[in-house]
């Protein structure tokens, strides 16, 4: 299996995780193993890594790429939001550092055959975990116009959501929408030329919205942010790489909330916390990749890194 990916903001991630020999780290989004390998190298000798990914391809690739670190790397197939269950299974109460990289891998875009990209003609799947039931094709062909409009507007922040949803519903009356290229062409046909951004494919936001919905990305992130502090040791670090504004706003809001001393879920009507700070934010504005990195790895272009430290 060919699994290609370039880790985003690698030096910044490793610096803010403050990897040290003999410490225990969790990589909740293993991907191409680039960040994982660096964490294991910096925490040697004796450092350990618990690695989770919902894409089975990533797990199989990592077993080969990280073979030299055996037995200090352990792999689990699942979503990062399930990490408390993984730690419980290992009888580990807390770790010294946690990393989430919420972006797609090059493998998923170019080699997975699951329709993540509008640049190829693949089945309209978009499942990161193929054990999941619903695909992007299921949503595109089953949701009514109002539901599609809401999905595209909420998760994609797409200005032309209504026009796109209307065109999708009209075309699927004649034929099933089954491939990524087919959907991309439909979306492009729904957006007037005057409304298109130079260098930005018209279907970009629609593909992002469908991927978020299929993989329940925002729900998983919200759950993770709510439980994460309980599984981080005092002095431990949390680093999260986001790639769109919806995720970044969630992470920023939760970090600020925890720095102010609130551990209540965001939807709780009235806070009952003692206002004792839980985290210290290390990246006040969020870090962005350098122009040099973007020139060599365009996938880093939209990345934002936020990091924080657990207080004692």
The distance of Cα 12 from the centroid of its chain, to the nearest Å, equals 18
The answer to whether the CB of 59 falls within 8 A of the CB of 132 is no
Q: Which residue has the tokens 């995780």?
A: 17
For residue range 203-236, list pLDDT tens digits in order.
Answer: 999 999 999 999 999 999 999 999 999 999 999 9
Q: What is the mean pLDDT of residues 80-98?
A: 97
Gap between the Cα atoms of 66 and 71, Å rounded = 10
- The pLDDT, as a whole number, for residue 269 is 60
Gap between the Cα atoms of 73 and 36, Å rounded = 9
CA dihedral sign of residues 213, 228, 252, 98:
negative
The answer to whether the CB of 94 falls within 8 A of the CB of 233 is yes
Gap between the Cα atoms of 239 and 17, Å rounded = 7
- The pLDDT, as a whole number, for residue 254 is 95
CA dihedral sign of residues 19, 21, 27, 31:
positive
- The pLDDT, as a whole number, for residue 199 is 72
Using pLDDT thresholds of 50, 70 and 90, give the confidence band for residue 192. Answer: confident
DSSP annotation of 123 reads B
Dihedral through CA 91, CA 281, CA 285, CA 239, nearest 10?
-20
| Between 118 and 161, residue with greater pLDDT | 161
Give the chain's domains with CATH numbers: 10-107+217-310 (3.40.50.150), 117-215 (1.10.150.170)
Gap between the Cα atoms of 233 and 167, Å rounded = 51
Q: According to the per-residue pLDDT averaged within each range, which of 124-133, 191-200, 264-273 is highest? A: 124-133
By percentage, how much of the chain surpasses pLDDT 70?
95
- The pLDDT, as a whole number, for residue 46 is 94
The answer to whether the CB of 173 falls within 8 A of the CB of 187 is no
Q: What is the pTM of this model?
A: 0.92
Using pLDDT thresholds of 50, 70 and 90, give the confidence band for residue 110. Answer: confident
**Residue 145 clears pLDDT 60, i.e. is over it:** yes
Helix, strand or coil for residue 50? strand
Gap between the Cα atoms of 301 and 100, Å rounded = 17
Sequence-ordered list of residues with C-beta below 8 angstroms from that of 196, at least 6 positions apart, any chain: 202
């Amino acid at each position: 299996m060919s699994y290609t990916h370039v880790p985003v903001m690698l030096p910044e991630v490793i610096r803010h995780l403050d990897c040290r020999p003999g410490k225990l780290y969790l990589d909740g989004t293993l991907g191409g193993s680039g960040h994982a390998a660096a964490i294991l190298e910096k925490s040697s000798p004796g450092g350990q890594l618990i690695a989770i990914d919902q894409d089975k391809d990533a797990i199989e690739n990592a077993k080969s790429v990280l073979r030299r670190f055996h037995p200090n790397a352990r792999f689990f197939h699942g979503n990062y939001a399930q990490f408390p269950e993984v730690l419980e299974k290992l009888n580990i109460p807390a770790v010294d550092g946690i990393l989430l990289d919420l972006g797609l891998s090059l493998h998923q875009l170019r080699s997975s055959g699951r329709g993540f990209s509008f640049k190829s003609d693949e089945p309209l799947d978009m499942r990161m975990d193929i054990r999941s039931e619903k695909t992007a094709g299921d949503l595109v062909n089953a949701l009514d116009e109002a539901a599609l409009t809401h999905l595209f507007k909420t998760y994609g922040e797409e200005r032309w959501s209504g026009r796109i949803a209307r065109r999708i519903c009209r075309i699927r009356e004649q034929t099933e929408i089954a491939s990524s290229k087919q959907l991309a062409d439909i979306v492009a046909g729904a957006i007037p030329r005057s409304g298109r951004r130079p260098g930005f494919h018209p279907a970009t936001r629609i593909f992002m919205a469908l991927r978020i919905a299929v993989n329940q990305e925002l729900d998983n992130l919200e759950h993770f942010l709510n439980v994460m502090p309980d599984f981080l040791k005092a002095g431990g670090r949390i680093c999260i790489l986001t790639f769109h504004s919806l995720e970044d706003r969630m992470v920023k809001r939760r970090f600020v909330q925890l720095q102010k001393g609130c551990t209540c879920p965001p939807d709780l009507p009235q806070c009952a916390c003692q206002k004792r700070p839980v985290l210290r934010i290390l990246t006040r504005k969020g870090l962005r990749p350098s122009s040099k990195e973007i020139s060599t790895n365009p996938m880093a272009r939209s990345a934002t890194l936020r990091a924080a430290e657990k207080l004692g």
